[in-house]
Structure 1
Amino acid sequence: MTHIGYTMMTEQAGPRELVGHVVEAERAGFDFSVISDHSFPWLSSQGHAPYAWSVLGAAAQATTRIPLMTYVTCPTFRYHPVVVAQKAATVQLLSEGRFRLGLGSGENLNEHVIGRGWPSARVRLAMLDEAAEIIRALFTGEYVTRHGRHFQVDGARLWDVPDTPPPLGIAVSGPRSCAVAGRHADLLITTQPDRGLLDAFDAQGGAGKPRMGQLPLCYDTDRNAAVARAHGQFRWASGGWRVNAELALPTSFAQASAHTRPEDVAKTIPCGDDVDAVVEAARRFVDAGFTDLALVQVGGDHQAPFLRWAETTLLPALRDL
């Protein structure tokens, strides 16, 4: 059975609201939750970007059952891998073992703020590879010293270490990232139902490990309103990862998606209250072999009706998959 998760989108809600949303998602019966970790929203119309790790700490205390996860954190620019390891270990302790650490090579949108430039994808993956190794070593609770190509670590140690380290998830988009995931990941993360990525992960050592996808949707009893909201807040997604990872500001995303029409968005994001449309979109992930699927409800002000609909209608239908 595929596990169905809920996404706390830091780009479309404030910190207190996000915690309230995940509390309601737990009550509604979602199997897990994930949270984005951004310093900017993709579009100004989304309007938010609180600090994900503070939200995770609050969520760990406000919930009792639902697993938590970053989807995803970049451990190479805004955060040094030593700092990420400390944060992840702390959230694992606060949540009493409910945390998974999702890592990725980052987006210029979030990482440009520290002024270190934006290297090629090949370099970013090499940095992620090195960072994952450092984080793994620190989870042992031992002293760690590393003098690598990208990171220096001098006598670092975590003093509060959970009995069970957080599992590592690594986001992939092609063969090179699948190789990094094969070396380090306990689960694969991607946003597309691409069987080829799963096969590449398996070939690099990931066989038998979980694989997680993400599906945006826009629930509303008024389909036209849902399409308009999805277009207003989520049309940026049409650019694809290779483009989106390079853009630096919400204005860049607005310009890149200026010619994306509402009907274009409606072809890729289920809009309205047609449960069958969401089930069919989810089926593509299930048929590709995904074990976990995180849903994204577009619109920070429209989480409550979505969560009620999910509890009574959507989740039972998805369980049948």
Structure 2
Amino acid sequence: MVELGYTLSSEEHPPTDLVEHAARAEETGFDFLSVSDHFHPWIGKQGHSPFAWATLGGVSRAIEDVPVGVGVNCPIMRIHPANVAQAAATVADMLPDGFVLGVGTGELLNEHVVGEHWPEHATRLEMLEEAVEIIRTLWRGGQRSYRGEHFTVQNARLFTLPDEPPPILVSAYGPRAATAAAEFGDGLWTVGPQDVVNTWADAGGEGPRYTQLSVCYAEDEEEAVETAHEWWPNSALPGELAGHLPTPTHFEQACEMVSTEDIRESSILTDPNPAAHVTSIEEAVDAGYDHVYVHQIGPDQASFFEFYGEEVLPAFE
């Protein structure tokens, strides 16, 4: 059985709007929420990037009993894993109906801001494994120290802890990360209809499997394509560019090569037919995912909520 979620897109909306969207998503009938955790938006047009952990404090007061996940945090450079452990423990304590911590190896766009060297992916995976170990260690309570190859924690104790530690899902976009996620994660977190879920499962992965679908709903498909091209052209960038460009300005320069035709051919769903959205979710489920969350691109969230509440979500009740 699939759980359907809604993306709180930190790159496109101010924090108070994200809190309102969270309440509206629960009211509409979504099963869970996911919030992105970035220091920068992808491009300047998106216009926002509030601190996700502060936003979650507001969200916790605006919702009743819908679970929330961070998708995903990078606990290896910009934020030390001990601080992530404290932030996640606090939020989990405020969200007794469910919290999930998604973690990954990050993008240069967000992590370079502290001036540290940006390691290759294999090294970042090693750092991520250490970070997850630190977070779990601190969640066990008591005074803890840790000395690893990449991180040190000295005499740290978390005094505010949830009754149960939340699951830690590991993000993966390729086979090496999928295998690592199976080794030390409590589940898998990814974006789009990727087949990494099969690699993860073959490597012994167990737990929930999250994936995001990006859509741009408008009554007219041409309007949806134009909106997606204006607000989220970065999704159509080829290869591994998204992981290695350092600033929104660089993304804007790269996105000059993205046309509206590229958006039509991308994974962004712009068809206003409800059947297309139902089919897209069903395809993700058939691929092996049991949690599918939907990102509505652009300013118009109200029409999206109405459309999904009336035309899409009822198909999965």
Q: TM-score, normalised by structure 1?
A: 0.95
User: What SS class does the counterpart of residue 39 from structure 2 fall into?
Assistant: coil
Q: Percent identity?
A: 40
The aligned residue for residue 252 of structure 2 is: 254
Aligned to 2:227: 229
Residue type at the aligned position of 1:292: H
| Deviation per residue, 1:189-237 (Å, 9 max, x gap) | 1113233x22222233314x21110000001112222111101111111
Alpha-carbon deviation of 1:2? 1.2
Q: Aligned residue for 2:90?
A: 90
- Is residue 139 of structure 2 the alignment partner of residue 139 of structure 1? yes
SS at match of 1:212: strand
Give CA-to-partner distance per residue, 1:178-197, whole Å, 9 cap, x none.
232122212101113233x2
CA 1:264–1:80: 2 relative to 1, 3 Å: same
- Give the structure 2 partner of residue 205 of structure 1: 204
CA contact 1:214–1:293 (8 Å) conserved in 2: yes
The ranges of structure 1 where at least 4 consecutive aligned residues each deviate by more than 3 angstroms after the TM superposition are: none
After TM superposition, give the deviation of residue 316 of structure 1 in Å. Answer: 1.6
Deviations, residues 136-186 of structure 1 (Å, cap 9, x unaligned): 111111322111111001121111111111111110122221232122212
- Name the Cα RMSD after superposition: 1.4
Aligned residue number for residue 309 of structure 1: 307
With over 3 angstroms needed to count, the CA separation of the structure-2 counterparts of 1:53 and 1:159, relative to structure 1, is same
Whole-Å separation in 1 of the counterparts to 2:123 and 2:10: 27
Q: Report the secondary structure of 1:302's partner residue.
A: coil
SS at structure 2 position matched to 1:205: coil
- Uncovered stretches (5+) of structure 2, i.e. residues with no partner: none
Q: Secondary structure of the equivalent of 2:210?
A: strand
Residue identity matched to 2:5: G
In the other structure, the counterpart of 1:285 is: 284
Partners of 2:8 and 2:57 in 1: CA distance: 13
What is the alpha-carbon distance in structure 2 between the residues aligned to residue 237 and residue 223 of structure 1?
18
- In the alignment, what sits opposite 1:71? 71
Cα separation, 2, equivalents of 1:150 and 1:8: 32
2:301 counterpart SS class: helix
Distance 1:55 1:241, change over 3 A: farther
Q: CA deviation at 1:272?
A: 4.5
User: Counterpart amino acid of 1:211?
Assistant: R
For 1:270, give the aligned amino acid: L
Amino acid at match of 1:252: H
Residue 158 of structure 2 is aligned to residue 158 of structure 1: yes
8 Å Cα contact 1:171-1:188 kept in structure 2 = yes
For 1:273, the equivalent position in structure 2 comes to: 272
Where do 5+ consecutive residues of structure 1 fail to align?
none
Cα deviations by residue, 1:254-293 (Å, 9 ceiling, x for unpaired): 2222121112212221114211222232232111110010
C-alpha displacement at 1:243, in angstroms? 1.9
Residue pair 1:97, 1:166 contacting (<8 A) in 2 also: no
Q: Which residue does 1:193 correspond to in 2?
A: 193
Q: Across the two proteins, how many residue pairs are aligned to each other?
A: 316
Deviation at 1:97, TM superposition (A): 4.1
CA contact (8 A) 1:227 1:272 kept: no
| TM-score where L is the length of structure 2 | 0.96
CA contact (8 A) 1:137 1:144 kept: yes
The range that moved more, 270-279 or 60-69, is: 270-279
1:88-127 map, 5 Å: 88-127=88-127
Q: Aligned partners of 2:176, 2:220: CA distance in 1, in Å?
A: 43
CA positional deviation for 1:304: 1.1
Q: Does 1:296 align with 2:284?
A: no
Aligned position for 1:238: 236
